[in-house]
Structure 1
Amino acid sequence: MRSFLLIIACHEIERENAVQGPERDERLQELWDHHEIRQMLATYCHGCDRADEAEMASVYCEESWDDHGPDKCDGKVFTQRILEKARQTTKVVSHMLGQSLIRVNGSAASAETYFVATLIADTNPGERMTQLGGRYVDTLEREQGTWRIKERLCVRDWSSTGEIDPGYLATAGFVEGRRGSADVSWEKLGLVPETAA
C-alpha cells in the first residue's frame, strides 16, 4: 500500500508540474528515502519474527549500537543474542509497526516508529503472552547506498504479561506462522531460503 501511495505522489508531482528543477528532485528524493526507510523497518521486523539472523542483521550499519533494555550492544551482536533467546524461550514473536516520524538530512536521518511486540511462550499448563508497546528511536545512515540503523533506542511505553487461552481460532484451520524458511511468506515474497535460520 505504501509503495502504491508513493507512486501516486510521484505522478501527482509530475502531472501538476507544481515544482520544477532541483526543488522537485529534492521532494522526489525525500519520498523515496521515506519509502526505503519504512521498508528497512519492516525488514527488521520480518527478520526478527521469522528468526532470520541474516535478514535482521542486514538493517544495521557495520558499526552500530542498539539499546534494547537489558541488551545494550552492537546491532549485529544484538541480533544474534535476541534470536538465540527467542528460539529458546518463545514459540511466537510478532511485531506490529505503527506510524513513523522520519527526518532526512542528506545521507543521515532520524526516525521514531511506534511498535507493539508480542511474545508467546509455552508454559505449563498453558501459554503465556508478553506484549511490549513502545517506540524505536533511530539514528540512520545511508551506507553503501542503503538506509541502515546506526543507533537504536528501544523506548518502553507500556508492557503486559499474562496467561492466555488461544481459543477456537487455534483449531479453526488457519495456516500457522513458522520461523525461518518454513513460513509461507518465504515463497510468496521470493526470499532466499539460505538466509533462513
Structure 2
Amino acid sequence: MAGDNRAGMQEPGRVPDPAELADRAAIAEIIALHCRGVDRADEATLKSCYWPDATTAYGPEAVPAHGFCTELVPAIKAFRQTHHLVTNILYAFDGPQARVESSLIAFHYLAGADGADSEMTYLGRYLDRFEKRGNVWKIRHREPVMSWSQNAATTHDADHPALSALRQAARFPNDIVYK
C-alpha cells in the first residue's frame, strides 16, 4: 500500500532530510529524558520535557502536565525502583508539530514490608503531540495507551557475586548520574 498514510505517518522508507533527522534526535532525547525523570523521581527533569501549558492524560481526562509531574514524584517513590524503556519511535511531522508514537516497557519494583516483593510490568505506548517553539521540541500532550500489565513475585539479589560490585540505582539527587 504505497502512499497509505495510516495514523499520519510519512511514506515508509522515505529518506528524511538532515533537518528532520535533527528534529527526530531532539524528540528522542526528550522521550529518553522523560524516562530518566520518572525512574530517578526527578521533578525538574520531568517538567523540562513538557511545555508549561502542556497536558497529560494518564487518567480519563487531560490535566496540566507540570502538576502531573509534581504528583508523579511521590507516587514513583513508593516503588523501590522503576525502569522505563522506550522503543519503536514513529514520527509524523507537520511543520512545528509532530505526532509521535513510541512503545513502552516499564518495570515497577515494590518492596513488600514482609519481604514479599513484587514487580508490576507494564507494556504499552506513548501517543505524544510534540511542538517546536523556536528551535526546541517539547511535549505538548502525552497520552499513554496500555497493551497489558502483569504482577509477579520478585526478588532483589544485590549480594549475588556477579552483581555485588555494581552501583545501585537511586532516586534524585543520589543517583550516580547526578554526580
Structure 2 residue 41 is the aligned partner of structure 1 residue 51:
yes
Contact 1:69 1:154 (C-alpha < 8 Å) held by counterparts: no
Contact 1:129 1:164 (C-alpha < 8 Å) held by counterparts: yes
The separation in 2 between residues aligned to 1:57 and 1:160, in whole angstroms, is 28
The separation in 1 between residues aligned to 2:79 and 2:147, in whole angstroms, is 22
What's the counterpart of residue 65 of structure 1?
A: 55
Instruction: Give the counterpart letter for 1:114 in structure 2.
Output: S
Contact 1:36 1:147 (C-alpha < 8 Å) held by counterparts: yes
The separation in 1 between residues aligned to 2:119 and 2:82, in whole angstroms, is 10
The separation in 2 between residues aligned to 1:71 and 1:121, in whole angstroms, is 27
Q: CA RMSD in A?
A: 2.0
Q: Report the CA distance between 1:136 and its aligned residue.
A: 0.3
Structure 2 residue 26 is the aligned partner of structure 1 residue 29:
no
Q: Report the CA distance between 1:70 and its aligned residue.
A: 6.4
What's the counterpart of residue 176 of structure 2?
A: 184
Contact 2:105 2:121 (C-alpha < 8 Å) held by counterparts: yes
* Structure with a larger share of its residues in helix: 1
Q: Report the CA distance between 1:36 and its aligned residue.
A: 0.5
After TM superposition, the structure 1 = structure 2 runs for residues 60-139 of structure 1, keeping only pairs within 5 Å, are 60-69=50-59, 72-87=62-77, 89-123=78-112, 124-139=114-129
What's the counterpart of residue 6 of structure 1?
A: none
CA gap of 1:167–1:76, structure 2 versus 1, over 3 A, is: same
Task: Name stretches of at least 5 consecutive residues in structure 1 with no aligned partner.
Answer: 1-23, 188-197
Q: TM-score, normalised by structure 2?
A: 0.83
What are the superposed Cα offsets for residues 11-36 of structure 1, whole Å, 9 maximum, x if unpaired? xxxxxxxxxxxxx9x81110100010
SS in 1 for 2:173: helix
Identity %: 23
Instruction: Give the counterpart letter for 1:27 in structure 2.
Output: D
Deviates more, 1:26-35 or 1:52-61: 26-35
SS in 1 for 2:156: coil
Contact 2:38 2:76 (C-alpha < 8 Å) held by counterparts: no
Contact 1:132 1:156 (C-alpha < 8 Å) held by counterparts: yes
Contact 1:53 1:83 (C-alpha < 8 Å) held by counterparts: yes
SS in 2 for 1:178: coil
CA gap of 1:62–1:81, structure 2 versus 1, over 3 A, is: same
The separation in 2 between residues aligned to 1:69 and 1:113, in whole angstroms, is 19
CA gap of 1:30–1:152, structure 2 versus 1, over 3 A, is: same
The separation in 2 between residues aligned to 1:119 and 1:101, in whole angstroms, is 25
Moved over 4 A (4+): 167-171
